[in-house]
Chain A
């Protein structure tokens, strides 16, 4: 009993820290997206609230809070209210199993930099990602707006379709590492090929890396796969009728999912928090661990930047092109990748 209480206490402490970090990251990711988008389009972007717009996210948050919470008269009220919670819940829950560093040794105490270390880590992440489809379909159906419903249906079909290449592309990594625990996947990448090149999975699974990245972008409904919320056709897609904090929750879920999938790409293919050649420097334990944590944040930030960069680089797909890409290109390639990996490993 006492042991269980200790586990709950430690978990709660970690959750509070992770949750706060995640919220701050989401807030500043929104600002970063607005500033970078502005930069790419040769505008300035929000730069008035605080120094270079650094207080903009707080102003936005307050504004969301004091906006009217509209529930349309034709909407299915209960489902309409539940839907934002249904989408935020899996998006934030996923982060429980993401390791954002190895261990932190602090005065003789070892702290795992992860909320929950479970045997089925990766499977849990993918399962949670699937659940977020419900939030979208609930919200779009309950809104009683035909554009919202169209966006929701598109999103649903797109997300379930791209889940298949997403699930199949990680298979190559699983075959090579033999574990679903995310921290063990990272540890398996800590050795070197010929003593110099880090054994990161991207070197052995370049195709899987590209497939995973593409599918993850489609899973998160980001451009060039943002048909569910194509502004020119569907107003804003499945969250058209939502206002105030409920709208903010849809937004939060989208950005949380972006952070999670960037973290997953880094963990599965780019050696997580590992820095090549760091052991050789002989740094003190705590410095080494902090550097690794910093490296993880840096790698994840790169993929977050890539998300924004891609948004202003590629035009949106047409829906038939989107489905063709998934079923006729990504799915066969992902299957081929499994065959090739299997044959090479058996030889």
Chain B
């Protein structure tokens, strides 16, 4: 039923209003004493050194890729897990089907592991 989702929408509007209100109210109430040093990036009192947006390790990108692969796997598992109890007694094949799918992905995980993709130096 789509009407089940109306409270979610109401909640969204409410929380959005709260967040906007907080952002505005802090703007109004807070004092304002700007200074050049104060608005510099905070580096424990030292003058900021070097570039801010530095080059980052490629590892982050690699792990983001792994995440997409395995998270899609998790999403495919949800519908299966929900109907599993209902059908497992009549059709044990449901188990083998998902295991085949999982084993394909586990082969992938083992490959990444052996290749050293999961090492973080």
Contact = CB atoms under 8 A, between A and B. Distances in A.
Contact of B7 (A96, A146, A167, A331): A96
Nearest to A145: B41
Contacts of A147: 43
Given A74-B39, A117-B4, A163-B71, 6 more contacts: A10-B7, A73-B40, A89-B15, A146-B54, A157-B64, A167-B74
Interface string A152-171: 01001100110110011001
Interface string A66-102: 1111111110000001001100110011001100000
Contacts, number: 219
A180 interface: yes
Interface string B61-80: 00110110011001001100
Given A73-B40, A115-B11, A320 B119 contact: yes
Nearest to A19: B14
A319 interface: yes
Interface of B: 3-8, 10-12, 14-16, 18-20, 22-23, 25-27, 29-33, 36, 38-44, 48, 50-54, 56, 59-60, 63-64, 66-67, 70-71, 74, 77-78, 81-86, 88, 92, 95, 98-99, 102, 106, 109, 113, 118-121
A180 B41 contact: no
A339 B88 contact: no
B39 to A, nearest CB: 4
A145 B118 contact: no
Nearest to B39: A73
B1 to A, nearest CB: 8
B41 A74 contact: yes
A255 B12 CA distance: 19
Contacts of B38: 70
Contacts of B14: 12, 15-16, 19
Interface residues of A, number: 85
B88 A346 contact: yes
